[in-house]
């Protein structure tokens, strides 16, 4: 199982929830790996369309490792805070760079193994709007052959690490990991 963190903050609410999710998966026997997108060198999609015929991205950066992990994982969890009703730009950049995986799946007929996907979305506003980010991540999963499994939506946590005071959401993240494992 891989966890992909789209938050720019280490130790932030998304990071804490993702760690709980991965802990639940690991305690259920899954091997887990976490990708902190902020620390990776991921260029934006160049729109060259080479991947439409090859199924491979021509840009040589850390996204190649993420592509391999996405293809090999049994489960994928994407965690991102909500910025203007959508995922962070680093999350969106990662999604856009998966055009080659979409091409493999949809155009070239190279089907990957069955995989489950889930998302953790965190909004600082108590009335956070999640539907744009939900739609984006569900479309990403569908496009690359990952079956959507579950989501955890948490609103009203703005301060760094504030989620540690919300025991129910921490339990839900842990159970999400168990369910994915």
- pLDDT, one tens digit per residue, over 35-70 is 999 999 999 999 999 999 999 999 999 999 999 999
Residue 87 confidence class, pLDDT cut points 50, 70, 90: very high
Across-strand partners of 75?
116
| pLDDT at residue 81 greater than cutoff 90 | yes
Per-domain boundaries in the chain: 2-180
**Structure tokens, 176:** 């999400």
- Cβ atoms of 34 and 22 within 8 Å: the answer is yes
pLDDT band at 112 (very low <50, low <70, confident <90, very high): confident
Q: Residues of 16-55 as b/e, b for ≥16 C-beta within 10 angstroms?
A: bbbbbbbbbbeeeebebebbbbeebebeebeeeebbeeeb
Question: How many CB atoms sit inside 10 A of residue 75's CB?
Answer: 21
State the pLDDT at residue 27: 98
CA distance 97 to 38: 15
Token pair, residue 42, equals 């991921």
Q: What CATH architecture is 2-180?
A: 3-Layer(aba) Sandwich (3.40)
- Give, as one character, the DSSP assignment of residue 45: P
The per-residue pLDDT for range 115-174, each reduced to its tens digit, is 999 999 999 999 999 999 999 999 999 999 999 999 999 999 999 999 999 999 999 999
CA 51 to mean position of chain CA atoms: 21
Predicted confidence band of residue 23 (pLDDT cuts 50, 70, 90): very high
Structure token digits, residue 30: 């899954």
């Amino acid at each position: 199982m891989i966890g992909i963190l789209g938050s720019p903050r280490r130790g932030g609410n998304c990071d804490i929830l993702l760690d709980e999710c991965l802990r639940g998966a690991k305690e259920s026997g899954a091997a887990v790996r976490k990708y902190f997108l902020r620390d990776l060198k991921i260029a934006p999609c160049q729109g060259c369309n080479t991947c439409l015929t090859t199924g491979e991205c021509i840009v040589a950066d850390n996204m190649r490792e993420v592509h391999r992990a996405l293809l090999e994982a049994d489960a994928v969890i994407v965690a991102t805070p909500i910025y203007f009703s959508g995922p962070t730009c680093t999350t969106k950049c990662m999604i856009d760079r998966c055009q080659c995986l979409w091409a493999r799946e949809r155009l070239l007929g190279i089907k990957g193994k069955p995989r489950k996907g889930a998302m953790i979305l965190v909004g600082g506003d108590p009335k956070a709007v999640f539907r744009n980010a939900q739609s984006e991540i569900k479309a990403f999963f569908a496009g690359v052959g990952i079956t959507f499994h579950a989501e955890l939506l948490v609103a009203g946590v703005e301060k760094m690490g504030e989620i540690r005071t919300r025991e129910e959401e921490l339990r839900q993240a842990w159970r999400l990991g168990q369910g994915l494992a």
